[in-house]
Amino acid sequence: MATLGVNIDHIANVRQARRTIEPDPVQFAFLAELGGADSITVHLREDRRHIQDRDVFILKETIKTKLNLEMAATEEMLEISKKLLPDYVTLVPEKREEVTTEGGLDVKNNEKYLKNFVKSLKYSNIQVSAFIDPESEQINYSKEIGFDFIELHTGKYADLNGEDQYKELQKIIESSYVANDIGLVVNAGHGLNYQNVQKIASINNMNELNIGHSIVARALAVGLEKSVREMKSLITLNSISK
């Protein structure tokens, strides 16, 4: 049964819009856990547009579940992660001009650099995931580099409809089996919402779904604890009915 990782970056977006102290994403992480979140995800970006350094260190000390730190593969982030010691790190591509992460990490064309980077993280007993597009070549290179997990980018699936979405879903399913066969744990995320999550949750070997924007958007109407609980129910119900 897939678990639910809740990304709280968008809580910090509201705070940083005014450069003030509220809303505090640390407090909302507590509500997400009350709603059933199995882990908390935060992306500490180079430009610090939302999550700040103080957030990740307080979260590490206060959350009761697991902390997933999304970050770019830079020397600055490597040093921070070694001090923080999150439960696991997810390496993502990062560009200052993007609104949100666009596409997966190109592990194939950065194999040598990433192999050393991942080795350094694992030396500090940090498990490492690669946020990649659902492509067999990228999956195989992820294994070669030494990643423990992959997170399949579901953004294209989320943006499509009808037959095109079905074809993209099949790519994700096939990619999950390729990864599972070579010993990689499979997560997925990006663009998942209350309407499209169940088909991804129904994939047999899916470990965790990381979801942020749709949960936070729903929370504006019903509160974060309830919005997390509703998403968790969709994932759990679908898993039980398989």
Coil, strand, or helix at residue 236?
helix
Per-residue burial over 128-163, b = 16 or more CB atoms within 10 Å of its CB, e = otherwise: bbbbbbbbeebbbbbbebbbbbbbbbbbbbbebeee
Active site residue 43: yes
Triad 36, 39, 44: Cα angle to 5°: 135
178: left (phi over 0), alpha (psi -120 to 50) or beta: alpha
DSSP string, 107-152: -GGGHHHHHHHHHHHHHTT-EEEEEE-S-HHHHHHHHHHT-SEEEE
**Spatial CA neighbour of 33 closest among 240, 187, 233, 228:** 228
10 is catalytic: no
Catalytic pick among 43, 50, 151, 168: 43
Reading phi first (left if > 0) and then psi (alpha if -120 to 50, else beta), residue 191 is in: left
> Annotated catalytic residue: which of 70, 135, 168, 225?
70
Catalytic residue among 153, 168, 190, 225: 190
Shortest CA distance to 219 belongs to which of 203, 208, 230, 210? 230
CB 230 within 8 A of CB 194: yes
* Active-site residue flag, 153: no
181: its two tokens: 């066969």
**Which are the catalytic amino acids?**
43, 70, 190
